[in-house]
Amino acid sequence: MSTKNKKTSFDRRRFVRTSAAVTGGLLLVPELLSAKAFNSVDDAIKVGVIGCGGRGTGAAVQALSTSQNVKLVAMGDAFSDRVENSYKQIEKAMTAKQKTDRLDVPKERRFVGFDAYQKVIGLCDVVILASPPGFRPDHFTAAVAAGKQIFMEKPVATDAVGVRKVLEAAAIAKQKKLNVVVGLQRHYENVYQQWVEKLHEGVIGDITMSSVYWNNEGVWVKKREEKQTEMEYQMRNWYYFNWLCGDHIVEQHIHNLDVGNWVKKGHPVKASGMGGRQVRTGKEYGEIFDHHFVEYEYADGSMMYSQCRHQPGTPSKVTEAFVGTKGRAPKPGIIQDHAGKTIMRISGKDDPDPYQVEHDVLFAAIAKGEYKFADAENGAHATMTAIMGRMATYSGQVVEWDKALNSNISLFPDKLDWNAMPKSLPDKDGFYPIAMPGKTEVI
């Protein structure tokens, strides 16, 4: 190893150990002791993944595809089949050499159950948080307490109680100088970076109106199986239960709402809207709506109009657009005058995959011992923007930011156990309560 490489290696090891050292006693699990021993004999950046569904598997592959000396050492999920399937998918994505050098997750480091996250966190330098979003506040808080570098998927919570918890942990992460990247990958995509920079420079003047969309046919659904407890069924079919997913306005439309906030350099102060379920009315679709329309108002009086829809057979539209006092930006990369003449075109044709970029830059910073990323607060505000929209469509009321953020309504179950009951339960025919505007209370 060259002198330069030795120094880089030393800086990186000192960086991750210093981050962990300041956590002393905050996560009192035995695995922490074994983590220190494990780290002492191998200089690779140890990665653990929590949540082994599609996104967790993809994020793990992307982490292992960076140019740094990275090794996956632990995996955890509530379900054993998801851990094993994820491991197989990761193994399949690796070359023979990558499998030898970068994949080191024997059976004893594949953890299952609601407490699997604690065991994974104790064994790694960097943790990937990709469980259903309802778990994110607890998992993020534990990872920060243990002094880990973090990649966490969006959204970062499903209710205001969870958002506040993430904001508290985010402040501690900053104090400890822990890198935190949130999977709002448009921030790591060249065409968005350049487009938003031009809008911030004022090329279309002051932004007076924003339009954001996530309209498509929807996602997977899991049918109930015999002998499943209610907890297992909701965990398997998590997209359709708010304590786990937050509704699709939170789980997916957050991307577009985040871009709206990014351009406006802040979050909305109030929201009103309407929504419901016209197409996805079966019991297998749990309790979420299939469409939302929300009017958000920012502190300067400008508006953001938000659409999200999951209805098969309807046009797909996932994008953002802005109107300013001097022109407009009708889609990412394009800037026009008010007559419709294009005055700037930023091509994203050759942009690298932003899902990979966000891991490349995170692990490069960690390898150099640098503190560069503090995405958690923005992720929390984007999440809260989406939750506020859901509050508006579910209640039919005008919802103000401060009241929404301070809501004490927790969607999370009082107890995590396969035989415990979530808060939303089906009637005798298997149908779940659906929010009713004018009646449903959200604050």
At 301-340, the pLDDT tens digits run: 999 999 999 999 999 999 999 999 999 999 999 999 999 9
pLDDT at 232: 98
d(CA 74, CA 50): 9
| Structural domains of the chain, ranges and CATH numbers in brackets | 45-186+358-374 (3.40.50.720), 190-350+381-406 (3.30.360.10)
Residue 15 has pLDDT above 80, yes or no: no
d(CA 38, CA 71): 12
Residue 40 has pLDDT above 60, yes or no: no
User: What percentage of the chain has pLDDT greater than the value 90?
Assistant: 90
pLDDT at 12: 58
**Averaged pLDDT for residues 237-261:** 98
Residue 291 has pLDDT above 60, yes or no: yes
Confidence band of 10 (pLDDT split at 50, 70, 90):
very low
What average pLDDT does the chain have?
93
pLDDT at 349: 87
Structure tokens at 381: 């505000």
* Helical spans, DSSP H, in 94-229: 96-102, 116-121, 136-145, 160-176, 190-201
d(CA 275, CA 254): 16
d(CA 286, CA 429): 12
* Neighbouring C-beta atoms of residue 277, cutoff 10 Å: 17
**What does the DSSP assignment read for 4-37?**
HHHHHHHHHHHHHHHHHHTTTTSS--THHHHHHH
**Averaged pLDDT for residues 40-56:** 88
**Averaged pLDDT for residues 57-68:** 98
Q: Which helix (DSSP H) or strand (DSSP E) does residue 83 occupy?
A: helix 80-93
- Cα–Cα distances (Å) from 9 to 3, 69, 72, 366, in that order, read 10, 10, 18, 10
| pLDDT tens digits along 366-400 | 999 999 999 999 999 999 999 999 999 999 999 99
Confidence band of 14 (pLDDT split at 50, 70, 90):
low
Residue 242 has pLDDT above 60, yes or no: yes
Residue 43 has pLDDT above 70, yes or no: yes
Structure tokens at 396: 């039919």
Q: Which of 5-14, 169-178, 352-361 has the least mean pLDDT?
A: 5-14
User: The whole model's pTM is what?
Assistant: 0.92
pLDDT at 27: 38
d(CA 436, CA 289): 11
d(CA 185, CA 360): 12
pLDDT at 63: 98
72 CB burial (10 A radius; 0-12, 13-18, 19+): buried
Residue 34 has pLDDT above 50, yes or no: no
